[in-house]
Amino acid sequence: MRLNNLRSTSVVIALVLLGMVSGGTSASAQQRYLTSLNWSIGFPTGNLDNYTPSTSFSGFSADLRFLQPDRTFFGVSGGWNYFSDLLRNATVSVENGAIYGTQVRTVNAIPLLASAGMFFDDGTSNMHPYAAINVGAYSVNQRVEIGLVQINNNNWHFGVAPEVGLMIDLERTTAFNAQARYNRALSSGTALNGSSDNSYGWWSLNLGFTFTGW
């Protein structure tokens, strides 16, 4: 049932974002803003790489950013990354014991971030490199299924995510967006294996479109 709740949540988010996209040009006549919706590919590092080492192709990110005349911008960013791996015939040690079985390991990470950054061009060309820093909260669900048992570990983390990106104009109000971001969710509790370090880190390559509005 959790699975279906997540699916329906994804659909609602997608519809809301689509609404943002389609309503981009009809908003305020004074404020220029950038709305990006991207497919997010995740590359785990550190603790996350130890737990679910496979590259994740399941995810998306969305940015809403307000562009200032001096080419700086601020806004909000959100998204979702899903990491999963299968370990057959694995034995894990637990306190005073061990557990053996096929493990399905997953991590669901939802960042909710505030962003600030700047473009490095003067806006006259059709290519717009930029850099930004994102700061905020990550909701992370770490889960392992062994046999018919499912163990969940949910935590909120404070996190930072520096990023660099490039927008390439497709036409006046639409651009292709490529973005590399390093997500760092700082430790905030206990990991499933009992470790006091439950920090997570992953690179995300976000590919999508940016729509501008005034």
Partner 1 sequence: MNNYLRTLSAAVILTVVALTSWSCYYDYGLSISDYDAVITSRDSSVTNWGTFKTYVMPDSVVHYVAPGERDDISRAYDATILNSIASNMNAMGYKRIYDTTQTKPDVIVTQGITSKDYTAYYGGWGGYWGWYGWGGWYGWGGYYPPYYPVGSYTYTQGTLIVAMSRVEGTKGVDERIQSIWLAGVAGLVSETASSNATRIQTLIRQAFVQSPYLIPETL
Which residues make up the interface to partner 1 (CB under 8 A)?
A: 3-4, 6-8, 10-11, 14, 17-18, 21-22, 24, 37, 39, 57-60, 82, 84, 86, 88, 91, 96-102, 104, 146-149, 170-174, 208-209, 211
* Residue (29 or 172) nearer to partner 1, CB: 172
**Closest CB 93 distance from partner 1, rounded Å:** 9
**Closest CB 58 distance from partner 1, rounded Å:** 3
* Residue (56 or 183) nearer to partner 1, CB: 56
**Closest CB 82 distance from partner 1, rounded Å:** 5
Rg of the chain, C-alpha, whole Å = 19
Written in H, E and C, the secondary structure of 27-82 is CCCCCCEEEEEEEEEEEEEHHHHHHCCCCECEEEEEEEEEECCCCEEEEEEEEEEE
**Closest CB 70 distance from partner 1, rounded Å:** 27
Task: Report the distance separating Cα 60 and Cα 204, nearest Å.
Answer: 10
**Closest CB 173 distance from partner 1, rounded Å:** 6
* Residue (65 or 199) nearer to partner 1, CB: 65
Collapsing DSSP states into helix, strand and coil, what is residue 167? strand
Collapsing DSSP states into helix, strand and coil, what is residue 133? strand
Task: Report the distance separating Cα 195 and Cα 127, nearest Å.
Answer: 45
* Residue (21 or 185) nearer to partner 1, CB: 21
* Residue (37 or 191) nearer to partner 1, CB: 37
